[in-house]
Amino acid sequence: MKIICDSAKLAKACMNVQRTVSNKSTIPAIEGILIKAVGESVNLTGYDLEVGTETYIPAEVEENGSVVLNAKHLCDILRLVPDDSVMIESDERSICKIKSGETEYSLIGISSEEYPDLPAVSSGFPIVINQALLKDMIKKTIFSVSTSERNPVHSGVKFEISEGKIVLVAVDGARLAVRRENIDYSGEEVSFVVPAKTLGEVMKLGEDDESFYSISVGKRHICFEVGEYKIISRLLEGNFIDYKAAIPLTSSTVVSVASRKLIECIERTSLIITDRSSPVRCTIENSVMKFSCVTTIGTANDKMAADIEGKDIEIGFNNKFVLDALKIGGSEEVKLEFNSSNQPIIIIPKEGDSFLYLILPVRI
């Protein structure tokens, strides 16, 4: 194999691919990037056996071929090469020469035959969604995925796609995040769970918010395509929580309030919290929301006016969980729905149903 290509483009592509390369494995090949020169481009692949990234950049290919090079060493070299172009050449023993300007390296590579194949993903009706929209939906749910190993399926985000609609759901045992949106889709109804790590990579790729992701879903794997990149990942298996059953159908108290004012009030009350077990107490009565907190270093009290309908209520909550929902939700005004001190807090936009956050209360 022998290629000559733009140093900056190759460095950027390798850095993106490197994120799905295994850091430590009993299979040396998957600690590297597969470089394959074909026609007028060079293809790059990183794969840790759970999620993989493929891309290509244009190149002057003088000799077709392929080789696997250690991802860290390759990226470190490309980041610092002095010239605008770089030449990479490998021989039949997978010894690779990298040359840029007066700088030259010789690296011991691995035969491409030792690199595992990425799973093939085939599906029926394609799912196409605006890049900015999907990134926003992921951002507003991924923070609620579980980090516990007790139920691995909850370490991902559930996608529910039906005619004209997409719903993303994440749950971690103490909170639930739901994001809904209308899309142009008329295929069959599908449901699957994508690992949070994969979605993190999806968010990092693509720079043109007006472009689209093309999504293909197989029985066990999924493929996201955007621009010159493909991300292929396994899907999570298991019984995802029946989240619809966890959402109360009615509420006895509804509070309408400006998000920014509520955030600032909770943040002020939270300044004395030194550990996650200290709840914020909220009392809702007489068109006022009162917040208080007692910890080992002292007490804090604050209050704000609000539009309140229904019964008076007193409830405790984890300040971080409520603040996360208010900040990430991004709505200027929200509704908070309550039933009792031991039932969930629901946060929804004042208008529409684009998101819903459910947060379990804390005993006070």
So what's the pLDDT on residue 42? 98
Task: Tell me whether residue 111 is exposed, middle or buried, using C-beta atoms within 10 angstroms of its C-beta: 0 to 12, 13 to 18, 19 or more.
Answer: middle
- Residue 362 gets which letter from DSSP? B
So what's the pLDDT on residue 266? 98
Task: State how far the Cα of 314 lies from the Cα of 136, in Å rounded to an integer.
Answer: 33
Residue boundaries of the structural domains of the chain: 2-114, 127-244, 247-359
Could you give the C-alpha distances from 111 to 32, 34, 106, in angstroms and in order?
11, 9, 15
State whether CATH 2.60.40.10 applies to domain 247-359.
no
| % of the chain with per-residue pLDDT over 70 | 99
Task: Sheet with 280-285: list strands edge to edge.
Answer: 298-305, 288-295, 280-285, 313-317
For residue range 213-254, list pLDDT tens digits in order. 999 999 999 999 999 999 999 999 999 999 999 999 999 999
Q: Which of 51-60, 120-129, 138-147, 173-182 has the lowest mean pLDDT?
A: 120-129
Q: What angle do CA 153, 154, 158 make, to 5 degrees?
A: 85
Estimate the crossing angle of helix 196-204 against helix 131-142, to 10 degrees: 140
pLDDT at 207 exceeding the cut of 80: no
Task: Tell me whether residue 356 is exposed, middle or buried, using C-beta atoms within 10 angstroms of its C-beta: 0 to 12, 13 to 18, 19 or more.
Answer: buried
Give the CATH architecture of domain 127-244: Roll (3.10)
Same fold, 2-114 and 127-244: yes
In this structure, the number of other CB atoms found within 10 A of the CB of residue 50 comes to 13
Mean pLDDT for 56-80 is: 97
Mean pLDDT for 74-78 is: 97
Diameter of the chain measured on Cα atoms: 81
So what's the pLDDT on residue 124? 66
Task: State how far the Cα of 82 lies from the Cα of 51, in Å rounded to an integer.
Answer: 32
The CATH homologous superfamily to which domain 2-114 belongs is DNA Polymerase III, subunit A, domain 2 (3.10.150.10)
* pTM for this predicted structure: 0.93
